[in-house]
Structure 1
């Protein structure tokens, strides 16, 4: 039985990961901003679930909550940094982008830093970060979002290097996901190769268990990743 902590667990991939891990018999700690949804998950999963309402951009409180949930579970084996957002359409552009960067980049980095320090002291553990195919691209319509995913990818690469230089067995796994049906993408246009949350979470769990450094969900997105790396910048500038 593993002990897993998931941020952004109230909907989409985070919620589905929690459900599937619990079905496999693992203990799952979940944080998110929506208390009612966390309570619903707790009722659905039962005694294997541990919940706490949290805005992960509040770094001081986040550390306290992470440690409290770890104590309640009796340890931690895997920390999945899933909390994230796309552009909030109803807000002015800069307010929307600053909130996105605060959550997708700063809160992610804080969670990664916390997990690394914890696992370094413990001697082992796995950090999982939700990157995206957007980490390989830049787009004028989603500058902050694609930049935040670039940040996650590079930050995890650096922490993977860092892990090799400490006397602990720490795995750093980056998930590069394509389009998945979630609340965040339900209004998006032009999506293709779209996976259900159930299929995506199932593949994610398998990749996490294998301790991969980087893997794509679904697997076919590896093809587009290879193509994206070959396309010169002047072509992207015209898209």
Structure 2
């Protein structure tokens, strides 16, 4: 029987580590003895992770949309964290839920810059070293929105469709190199996602989850842990999960009143 990987042999680089899925992933892996490079834009939250896990966690403030800063950070990692073998390109967001003809262009730009460019910069800055070492795992945060459209999801859903296809093409590129690729595609998950989408409107964000039991960041972190600790000859290409009360919706027919 194949043995699961010992998490203590893993060193993760996690973007978007200051909240939600990213923070939960840091906790899950560091709690199991893995080393974690926790990256995000909120220094005080990074400091909390460092204070809790000590030498297992290295933190740095990073905006993944800055390619030069990302490359410099990766090139200057301290010795215990330099040989990372999992990269979780998790940083991403949604902004706004207006139809395309009312959406703010600046919201579209922010989602494209973060969900696509920031993810690409993270992968490009970290992948060559893993290929050279013959061992690694790229994990991306996609979404069921990459498969299933919904009103107002226009550019957000399109960015996650990009992530899905990029993951598949990336796997084609690295197959046989010792590097694995997994796209994590959550459905209804209660994090700060909706608070960001609705520009800090907590009441509106709470309404997204009212009457349902959504997944949590910890639920998704467990899926990342599963994929990353399977034996290295196994590659999980996609994990798509939904809350038990959720499904992909019926086709919408906009009917004209008689």
Given candidates 94, 98, 121, the residue that maps to 2:105 is 94
Matched, 1:163 2:174: yes
User: Quick one: structure 1 residues 179 and 70, their matched pair in 2 at CA, closer, same or farther if it must change by over 3 Å?
Assistant: farther
Aligned to 1:153: 164
Distance between the aligned counterparts of 1:59 and 1:200, measured in 2? 27
- Higher RCO, Cα 8 Å, sep 6+: 2
Distance between the aligned counterparts of 1:237 and 1:33, measured in 2? 42
TM-score normalised over the length of structure 1: 0.86
Q: Is there any run of 5+ residues in structure 2 with no aligned partner, and where?
A: 1-7, 98-102, 196-204
Matched, 1:185 2:194: yes
User: Quick one: structure 1 residues 123 and 70, their matched pair in 2 at CA, closer, same or farther if it must change by over 3 Å?
Assistant: farther
Aligned to 2:200: none
Given candidates 196, 208, 221, the residue that maps to 1:201 is 221
Aligned to 1:17: 25
Which stretches of structure 1, 4 residues or longer, exceed 6 Å deviation after superposition?
none
Given candidates 81, 105, 112, the residue that maps to 2:89 is 81
Determine helix, strand or coil for the equivalent of 2:58. Answer: strand
User: Alpha-carbon deviations, 1:85-124, whole Å to 9, x = none?
Assistant: 11058xx711111011100011111212223222221212
User: Quick one: structure 1 residues 103 and 95, their matched pair in 2 at CA, closer, same or farther if it must change by over 3 Å?
Assistant: same
Deviates more, 1:55-64 or 1:115-124: 115-124
Kindly name which structure, 1 or 2, has the bigger radius of gyration based on alpha carbons.
2
User: Alpha-carbon deviations, 1:66-94, whole Å to 9, x = none?
Assistant: 232364514111000010011058xx711
Q: Is there any run of 5+ residues in structure 1 with no aligned partner, and where?
A: none
Computed over aligned residues only, the root mean square deviation of the Cα atoms, in angstroms, reads 2.4
Q: CA deviation at 1:18?
A: 0.3
Aligned to 1:174: 183
* Contact 2:194-2:208 at 8 Å conserved across structures: no
Aligned to 2:241: 217
